[in-house]
Amino acid sequence: MTTPARHSLAIIGAGPVGLEAAAAALELGFDVHVFERGDVGMHPTAWGHVRMFTPWSLNVGPASERLLKANGWNAPPADECPTGQELADLVLAPLAATEALRGRVHTHAQVVQVSRRALLRHERIGDAARADEPFRLLVRDAGGRESVLHAFALIDASGTFGTSAWAGSGGVPARGELYLAPQMSYRPDDVTGLRRERHAGKRTMVVGSGASAATTVTALAQLAAEVPGTTAVWVTRGAAALDGEVAGDTLARRAELFAGARALLGGSNESVQHVGGAEVEGFEYNTGTHRYRVTLQCGEQARIEEVDQVILNVGYRPDHSITSGLQGHFCWATRGAMKLSAALLGADGGGDCMVAPAGGAELLCHPEPNFFVIGAKSYGSSSAFLLRTGYQQAADVLALLGSKLPRD
């Protein structure tokens, strides 16, 4: 039986926060390995056409920057906002390719499940002695081969983008949604670029009221100006509220996005129709006309919309099934890290993600010793997460782990 070094650390996910944690771990002398189920930066690449609302100065983690600069990297202009693709290409890929990280970032290596070696979840409840056994990771490669790896510390930075929320009323699938999900989109699609043909001259329904929905509808309005016959119906649960819109926003790009979206809600563009105060009840697809029939409930009234395409930008959910063998403590409402979620609910930031609660690594601790969920996943279903917060989480958690798991 192999027992890893005491300062061994496994990180799930080679997104911006997982890689920042890896870079910080190297500085502290950890034997760190990152497991990524796809390619490095897979999630920002999936929304690669979207321009971020935070500038480069907030998008590159400090430990990542130190490692990149030691490898001759030229920082992009601090005040420019990159696209998701630029973040992946100019920061994440070069970072994972540095000599220090190259052999430590394992792509196409999906973490299937994690437990403690020889300990069930309900054994030694909340007992610090659980830390005496290493974490046991079941990892599957691209060919389906499985291996078991061990580490004394575990950071889950696997994000939420891989698990979309459901569009149906109450957050469960609407009638027909489970069946039709594979042919509808749950992403902020590139409707003016890669997916242009799907939407040009067509009627598209967009459901959602956050930044992703605002981005998609704004792009459809632009497509409508270029291609006659393109229309959008924008369905929101609230009458006029936009999730993530902040009074006196300090992020100019985000303020601009929401100002434009608010104008569209107000009827500024005749190609975009807004249906507010609506719950999604059901989807049907007509294989003859290739059109969707969507049933909405607006107060007491049912309403039917017929459209060619459906884009559901209704948010993302953390998938804690991979760590279900551990004593994780998650919020019953958001499914984020429990103490962090409580601090976020009590924070006086008016929902602005630029205002993150103080509390350091303590907010990220679970009954399971040396287990941390950081990055977008730590916020659960809340979309008020910023990379800057994730980078601070990585520094806080590594400082704590460094004091508990010194080099052998």
Task: Using the minimum distance from each CB to ligand FAD, give the nearer residue, 18 or 328.
Answer: 18
Q: Is 50 in the site for ligand FAD (CB under 6 A)?
A: yes
C-alpha–C-alpha distance, residues 4 and 335, integer Å: 31
How big is the site for ligand FAD, counted in residues (CB under 6 A)? 35
DSSP characters for 114-152? Answer: EEETTB-TTSSTT-GGGGGSPEEEEEEETTS-EEEEEES
CB of 17 to ligand FAD, least distance (A): 3
Strand partners, 365: none
Encoding tokens for residue 318? 């953390």
111 is a contact residue toward ligand FAD (CB under 6 A):
yes
The residue (of 43 and 203) whose beta carbon lies closer to ligand FAD is: 43
- Considering the rule CB under 6 A, would residue 158 count as an interface residue with ligand FAD? yes
Pairing of strands 8-12, 31-35: parallel
Chain positions 198 to 227 lying near ligand FAD, rule: CB under 6 A, are 212
Q: Does 159 bind ligand FAD (CB under 6 A)?
A: yes
Contact call for residues 17 and 41 (beta carbons, < 8 A): no
Minimum Å gap between C-beta 316 and ligand FAD is 7
Q: Does 53 bind ligand FAD (CB under 6 A)?
A: yes
Footprint (CB under 6 A) of ligand FAD, residues 116-145:
none
Q: Which residue among 11, 30, 33, 35 contacts ligand FAD (CB under 6 A)?
A: 35
Measured from the CB atom, the residue of 35 and 372 that comes closer to ligand FAD is 35
Burial of 375 (0-12, 13-18, 19+ CB in 10 A): buried
Q: Could you give the CA distance from residue 316 to residue 334 in angstroms, rounded to a whole number?
A: 11
Question: How far is residue 340's CA from residue 347's CA, in Å, rounded to a whole number?
Answer: 10
Tokens of 146: 């499985």
Stretch that binds ligand FAD, among 70-78, 158-166, 176-184, 332-340 (CB under 6 A): 158-166
Q: If binding is defined by CB under 6 A, does position 351 make contact with ligand FAD?
A: no
Phi, psi torsion values for 63, nearest 5 degrees: -70, -35
Nearer to ligand FAD, 35 or 371 (CB): 35
The full DSSP string for 280-303 is: EEEEEEETTTTEEEEEEEETTEEE
Q: What residues line the site for ligand FAD (CB under 6 A)?
A: 12-18, 35-38, 42-44, 47, 50, 52-54, 110-111, 157-159, 161-162, 188, 212, 322, 375-376, 385-387, 390
